[in-house]
Structure 1
Amino acid sequence: MSLKILITGAAGFIGSNLCEYFVSMGHDVLGLDNLSTGSLSNIEGLRLKDNFNFLKGDIRDIETCRKAVLNRDYVLHQAALGSVPRSINDPITSNDVNVGGFLNMLVACKDAGVKKMVYAASSSTYGDSKALPKVEERIGKPLSPYAITKYVNELYADVFYKTYGLNTIGLRYFNVFGRRQDPNGAYAAVIPLFTKQLMNKQSPTINGDGTYSRDFTYIDNVIQANEKAMLTVHPEAVNSIFNIAYGERTDLKMLVDLLKMSLSKYDKSILNIEVIYGPVREGDVPHSLASIDKAKRILNYQPQFNLRDGLDEAVDWYWSHL
């Protein structure tokens, strides 16, 4: 059965991958993006498809949100200004987009009678909690303006469910990577940035001593989670938050070694590139590891790609596109 789905942030990394997948499944997809960080090149192949439409617009404008949700069954809300450093440099814009824009989407979804809104939450919400693995019900104090905005999203979603009956599910993404993640710009994520540097025979710079660790999560695992969250009828799923990760942590030193190995099949000399160590980045959480037991139990989430397999796929994409 073809569903009518709105995907916000459609021209971005995660949004464009979601658009591609749901269009390929035969659903009627509308993509919304203001193209501030996304790129039309990410969705150019989709714009020829009969079941995909694109609306250029900003979630900070309530009328744009109302127009976008009209006659949509489901909303997959990915639009946000990501990056901890960006939010530290410009907290006002991060708040305007991530909190104000999110509230606009909630109001528009409520008024339009959307069946469910699945939204991108963030592992940054765990803040200064030192407990590992991270369990949904136990969080710390946020360490950045970005983390605050993503936590506020969860609070707003909870209130809209309890007050207005709007069905929401939040997916706390852990360090998502994969095809079409932008390696350029001041706020590029670590995997595309390191990949590009290694391909250009440049030494990647690790913030800190390389022992900080992350639960790196390949994009196809995130696509699966969004589909399962959207379609689930499990009574415990609605108005709930789920960690979306692979459930293993890798330190940054090991990450670079794995990237070198993946890239070495194209160019053996990459194995010899040295790493530079720089200062720890402000607002960075030292260690991140997700418990995905709740997502497995309630959503039947079964991540297919571990870090090594995901890196091989991502490196293949970057080698042919950069």
Structure 2
Amino acid sequence: MKHTILVTGGAGFMGSHLVDQLISEGHHVKVVDNLSGGYLSNVNPKAEFIKGDLQSAKVCRKAVEGVDMVYHLAAHAAEGQSLFCPVYNAKSNYIGFLQLLEAAINSDVKVFVHTSSMSVYGHQKEMPMREDQPYNPKDPYAVGKAAIEQLLLIYSELFGLKYTILIPHNVYGERQNLNDPYRNVISIFINRVLQGKPPIIFGDGTQTRAFTYVRDCTPYIAKAGFTSEAFGERINIGSEEVTTINEVARIVLEETGRTDLRPVHAPPRPMEVKHAYCSSEKARRILDYKTTTPLRIGIRKMVDWVRREGPRSFKYWNRLEITKKAPEVWTKKLQ
């Protein structure tokens, strides 16, 4: 059975890959995006595109019209940056979600797939991160994501809305926003190195992560909306190939052929979680999830893509809402 599906943030990185996946499966896809972090060139030409912000009730009503499924990916996804722009982040993410949820319920949307964030876990004593661990958010973005999850549970109980919460972990790959200096470390490293500049590492670089190639992620986001066993569940989506940020920098330098450059270490980012990687056992059980792209191969593919696109200048905010204790890299707007 084919569906009419709304993808919010469908001009962005993960959203545009998800749109491609859903269209390849034969669905009619509507996209709503304000293009603050996405690009019209990312949008599949077979999709119906609406330019607009989810903070607008009118935009949300138009977006959900005739839709039976929603995949909600739109967000100002800036964990560390949200400490210094909490008001903007709350309006963009929390209020935007509420407007969308109101419209979805009033329009009788049947299924709502929400992409949350690994940041909701915060610091955990036991690793890897598992879905049954208590949340410990350390920034406004994570607090908002955790609140959205709770609201989905409440409205599901009240209205019977079928929902799934997916928690992607450190996704990278083609179409990542190269202009963004605040998030997506692999993208930032590649963008700088291809301009002949060394990667900047916050702290000593021993932070551990497991990075997930985008094409190993979005097919399972798509699948979640059609898997009854996923309804009412929170599910991690992520690679289990754990590495350090130092190792990521080394691979980027090798794959770009710039081993002559040496990483520069900056002071640690405020409130940064030292270790963040997940168990994907639940995703394997419910969604038959698997990763097929090792980190080095994924970085190689992304380097090739950035070479074709050309590196870009970072676009910094004119002024953060809070500047005290903001990383110097940001306040000095280093390129």
Scaled by the length of structure 1, the TM-score of the pair is 0.92
Q: Provide the residue aligned with 1:155 in structure 2.
A: 150
Distance in structure 2 (CA, Å) of the matches to 1:200 and 1:140? 39
Cα deviation digits, residues 207-255 of structure 1 (max 9, x gap): 0101001121111122122122011122xx2111111101222100100
Distance 1:19 1:298 in 2: 22
Cα shift at 1:318: 1.1
Letter of the 1:289 counterpart: Y
In structure 2, the residue corresponding to 1:6 is in which secondary structure?
strand
Q: Is the 8 A contact 2:120 2:135 kept in 1?
A: yes
> Which of 236, 242, 248 is 1:255 aligned to?
248
Secondary structure of the equivalent of 2:206?
coil
1:182 is matched with which residue: 163, 177, 180?
A: 177
**Is 1:285 paired with 2:273?**
yes
Tell me whether 1:16 sits opposite 2:20 in the alignment: no
Q: What is aligned with 2:66?
A: 71
Q: Distance in 2 between matches of 1:206 and 1:67?
A: 43
Q: Does 1:97 align with 2:85?
A: no
- For the residue of structure 1 that corresponds to 2:32, the secondary structure is strand
Is the contact made by 2:38 and 2:177 (CA closer than 8 Å) also made in structure 1? no
Contact 1:182 1:188 (8 Å CA) reproduced: no
Q: Provide the alpha-carbon RMSD of the alignment.
A: 1.4
Q: State the shift of 1:138 in Å.
A: 0.4
Cα deviation for residue 119 of structure 1 reads 1.0
The whole-number CA distance in structure 2 between the counterparts of 1:102 and 1:115 is 16
Which protein is richer in helix relative to its size?
1
Per-residue displacement from partner, 1:128-185 (whole Å, max 9, x unpaired)? Answer: 2232000111034211011101111111111111111111111111111100101223
CA 140–30 in structure 1, closer or farther in 2 if over 3 Å, else same: closer
Equivalent residues, number? 310
After superposing the two structures, state which structure 1 stretch, 180-189 or 94-103, moved more: 180-189
The answer for the alignment partner of 1:267 in structure 2 is none
Q: How many angstroms does 1:283 deviate by?
A: 2.3
Match of 2:231? Answer: 238
Q: What is the DSSP-based 3-state SS (H/G/I as helix, E as strand, rest coil) of the residue aligned with 2:10?
A: coil
User: How many Å apart are 1:286 and its aligned residue?
Assistant: 0.3
Find out whether 1:114 has 2:102 as its counterpart: no
- Runs of at least 5 residues in structure 2 that lack an aligned partner in the other structure: 311-335
What is the aligned-residue identity percentage?
35
Cα deviations by residue, 1:38-79 (Å, 9 ceiling, x for unpaired): 222322xx23x3xx1100111111222121111112111001
SS in 1 for 2:259: helix
Rate the CA distance shift 1:116–1:87 in 2: closer, same or farther, 3 A: same
CA drift of 1:188 comes to 4.0
TM-score for both structures, normalised by structure 2: 0.89
Contact 1:246-1:305 within 8 A present in 2 as well? no
